[in-house]
A and B are shown apart, each in its own frame.
Chain A
Amino acid sequence: MTMVLINRRSLLAAAGGLVVTAASGLRVPARAKGLAPTPSMRGGANNYRPGAPVVERIGGGGFWMSGTVRRAGDGAPLPGQRIQIWAHTTEGSERDARSHGATLTDANGAFRLEMPQIVPAFGQPHGHLAYDSGQFETVFLRPVMPSAGDRALEAHFVLQPV
């Protein structure tokens, strides 16, 4: 009996393996480029009021909005970045000025702002966040709370330098 070392099946398998290797090889440089910037979310900019003031807390508080801000590429935390936050809460609608406020990221690029409880509006319990200070590309986020009873919500920014 002769041993067939190269038949159609093994050839196809080898070719397939080669394609996979080549494709993953192509992907490696993309990974080396690092952290991709966060794209703006649909509807994120709705009812945005530019220039919300930096505040200790929005209204009476009781709900926490938190997150991080990092630089695209190397993922370095970005301190001192201004994040604007607004939502439909127990104290006002998204369009009310009193529902808007801003906070700055700390040395670790983290932010945390107390605000009134977010309540479902337009069908979903959600918040809005904006980075719009010019040094990086503008990003609008619209995170949705997994449950309307949640007392906190997170949103994370990866910003692309202009």
Chain B
Amino acid sequence: MPSNQGRRFRAGLAWAVLALAMLVPVAAATLSPLLAWRGPIYILAGFAGVVAMSLLLVQPLLAAGVLPGLEGRRGRRLHRWVGGSIVTLVVLHVAALWVTSPPDVIDVLLFTSPTPFSVWGVTAMWALFLVAALALIRRKVWAWHVIHRGLAIVVVVGSVIHAVLIVGTMEPVTKAILCLMVVAATLAVTGLVRIRARRRPVR
């Protein structure tokens, strides 16, 4: 039914699914028993990571303009704001973990940590910083889009493996579903949406 009502129903459904997918894992983490044995700064560090992970789901959807009401320029504009928020949350995540246990974070940043998930997290972090820096340059030629998408995949794969390997405040089932959705959305958008910017003419 291509009626106006049908379109509105589907838009509502899309937003409801997205909101649930993003909010339920965060809500589930607030119920973690581990929180009882952590200080406020450590809790803040954890949630900065959890919220950043959840924001990764909306990022490719905004860029592709597939969210009802946020098509085209509006979606891309919000994509930049959400991108900036993710960078801020990751900086907060690392800084608050540093305050909680400096030697553990130094090991992580120097790639000498005993925990395998930290290598994935740091790799994703550097890819994120790079993608953000390139976004500020905004030379939106074909190559820029290819690099942007490539780095986005590194950010997503690194973050997902980082999150899945961690025994932390995220509840395992909601964490797994969120991670699967983030990977699916990223691969779908980076793989299926055509880059419209023109290729540089070959000399």
Looking across the interface, which residue of chain A has its beta carbon closest to that of B121?
A123
Q: Which residues of B contact A101 (CB under 8 A)?
A: none
Interface size class of A (residues with CB under 8 A): 20 to 34
Question: Which residues of chain A have C-beta atoms less than 8 A from B39's C-beta?
Answer: 93
Tell me if B103 counts as interface (CB < 8 A to partner A). Answer: yes
Nearest A residue to B114 by beta-carbon distance? A42
Asked if B165 is at the interface of the complex by the 8 Å CB criterion, the answer is yes
CA distance A108 to B181 in the complex (A): 54
Q: Which residues of A contact B38 (CB under 8 A)?
A: 93, 121
In the assembled complex, how far is the CB of residue B144 from the closest CB belonging to chain A, in whole angstroms? Answer: 35
Report the minimum CB–CB distance from A120 to chain B (whole Å).
4
User: Which residues 107-157 of B have a CB within 8 angstroms of A?
Assistant: 107, 112-115, 117-118
Distance between A137 CB and nearest chain B CB, rounded to angstroms: 20
Name the A residues within 8 Å of B165 (CB-CB).
123
Decide if B27 is an interface residue (CB 8 Å cutoff). no
Inter-subunit contact A46/B168 (CB<8 Å): no
In the complex, are the beta carbons of B107 and A46 less than 8 A apart?
A: yes
Tell me whether A89 and B37 are in contact in the complex, defined as CB-CB below 8 angstroms, given that A42-B107, A42-B112 are known contacts: yes
| Nearest B residue (CB) for A43 | B114
The closest CB in chain A to the CB of B36 belongs to A90
Q: How far is the CB of B108 from chain A (nearest CB, A)?
A: 9
Residues of chain A within 8 A (CB-CB) of B168 are 120, 123
Bound CA span A151–B165, Å: 22
- Chain A residues in 8 Å Cβ range of B115: 43, 122-124
Other-chain residue from A47, A121, A124, A125 in contact with B103 (beta carbon distance below 8 A)? A47
* A:119-162 near B, CB below 8 Å: 119-125, 142, 148
Chain B residues with Cβ below 8 Å from A93 are: 38-39, 42, 100-101
Nearest residue in B to A147 (C-beta to C-beta)?
Answer: B167
Known interface pairs A42-B107, A43-B107; A123-B114 also in contact (CB < 8 Å):
no
Query: Nearest-CB distance from A21 to chain B (Å)?
Result: 39
- In angstroms, Cα B46 to Cα A69, docked, is 37
**Which one of A43, A95, A123 has the highest number of Cβ atoms from chain B below 10 Å of its Cβ?**
A123
**A residues less than 8 Å from B197 (CB atoms):** none
Do A46 and B34 have beta carbons less than 8 Å apart?
no
Collect the chain B residues with CB atoms within 8 Å of residue A148's CB: 167
Residues of B close to A90: CB separation below 8 A: 36-37
> Which residues 84-113 in B have Cβ within 8 Å of A in the complex?
97, 100-101, 103-104, 107, 112-113
Q: Which residues of B contact A (CB under 8 A)?
A: 34, 36-39, 42, 97, 100-101, 103-104, 107, 112-115, 117-118, 165-168
Name the 6 nearest CB pairs between A and B, nearest first. Answer: A42-B114, A46-B103, A123-B166, A120-B167, A43-B114, A119-B37
- What are 14 A-B pairs at a CB distance below 8 A? A41-B114, A88-B37, A89-B37, A90-B37, A93-B38, A120-B167, A120-B168, A121-B101, A122-B115, A123-B115, A123-B117, A124-B115, A124-B167, A148-B167
